[in-house]
Amino acid sequence: MRIGIACDLKDDYLRLGYSAEQVAEFDGPDTIEGIEDALTRLGHETDRIGNAHMLVERLAAGHRWDLVFNIAEGMYGYGREALVPALLDSYRIPYTFSDPLVMTVTLHKGVAKTVVRASNIPTPDFFVVEDARDAASCALDFPLFVKPVAEGTGKGVSASSRVESTDGLLEACTRLLAEFGQAVLVEKFLPGREFTAGILGTGRKARVAGVMEVVPLKGDVSDLIYSYHTKSNYQDLVAYRVPDSRTSGMCGEVALAAWRALGCRDGGRVDLRMDENGVPHFIEVNPLAGLNPVHSDLPILCRLAGMGYSDLIAAIVESACERIARGVP
């Protein structure tokens, strides 16, 4: 197949004056080169499209592809991850990963948790703050955890995200509202172990590729804050381990149920954390999980489970092709 690659390259935005944290979710050249190499090894021809603006120009010029490998995150608004899928849908060009509805629902953590809770999947109690004054209406018991409602890669998450009082909640919400210009998710803090599960496939054919525990190298697990800083310096701050089969099974069951409830497709990652009783809870889902061959969580956990990077890319493409064969673009 001729496969186009839709992506947001960090360097394109850094040259425009954006900060490193603003473009944290975007990809470096090594990620795109890794995907291109894997697709070429699978016998496909690749064409690097670039970001949504570049895609618009290519579509207007008449360019078409058998499949688009879409990892474009977008820059603005709750629909930013839905932009490229929506454009491709309008031209009836099939693509990897989830559709515009799923991308929008899952980007807004409050909406995603509402769907998950309605499906009877455990998730911490939560409250969405649209205005700092809303914080006074939050009836959840402390400690609480606050973060931007629609960011990834640990952006907006730090040690100060855990709050112990009404004053602390107001201060944290005020800061995040001003910094990120979006609502703030407030949820019950869970003191247990942290996990991430990789999922491959769609619907009934979705399966757990592997479960990985995030273990702090210093301090107690209850103190672990999986922040942007931690993820950027993971080799010095955390260890990634495969949990025992019982724990993996429990986490995988919750992750797979959430993946299916939200309608996610082809491949991605579900983050989980245990409560004080050792029950894993859904925290959030990433339907556009990072795919850096070395540093991203999904390739790492697949590697720990015995799956190589080329096999991971092949599984994603195979899932997309299976959907296309059924008439689901």
What would the DSSP string read from start to end of 100-160? HHHHHHHHSHHHHHHHHHHTT-----EEEESSGGGGGG--PPSSEEEEETT--TTTT-SGG
8 A C-beta contact, residue 189 and residue 283: no
Fold of 2-96: Rossmann fold (3.40.50)
Assign domain 194-325 to a CATH class: alpha beta
- Residue pointed to by tokens 């058998």: 66
- Give residue 185's region: left, alpha or beta (phi > 0; psi -120 to 50): beta
Q: How confident is the model at residue 328 (pLDDT cuts 50, 70, 90)?
A: confident
Q: What confidence score (pLDDT) does residue 147 get?
A: 95
pLDDT of residue 223: 67
Q: Which amino acid is at 61?
A: A
Query: Domain-by-domain residue ranges, the chain?
Result: 2-96, 125-188, 194-325
Token pair listed for 70: 């879409």
If you search the block for the tokens 């009783």, which residue do you land on? 277
Q: What is the pLDDT of residue 228?
A: 64
How confident is the model at residue 167, as a pLDDT? 94
Reply yes or no on whether the pLDDT at 220 is more than 80: no
In this prediction, residue 329 has a pLDDT band, given cuts at 50, 70 and 90, of low
CATH topology of domain 125-188: Dna Ligase; domain 1 (3.30.1490)
Over the stretch 36-95, which tens digit does the pLDDT of each residue have? 999 999 999 999 999 999 999 999 999 999 999 999 999 889 999 999 999 999 999 999
Q: What is the pTM of this model?
A: 0.93
For residue 229, name the pLDDT band (cuts at 50, 70, 90): low
Tell me how far CA of residue 296 lies from CA of 6, 11, 112, 273, in angstroms: 18, 18, 23, 19
190 band by pLDDT with thresholds 50, 70 and 90: very high
pLDDT of residue 234: 75
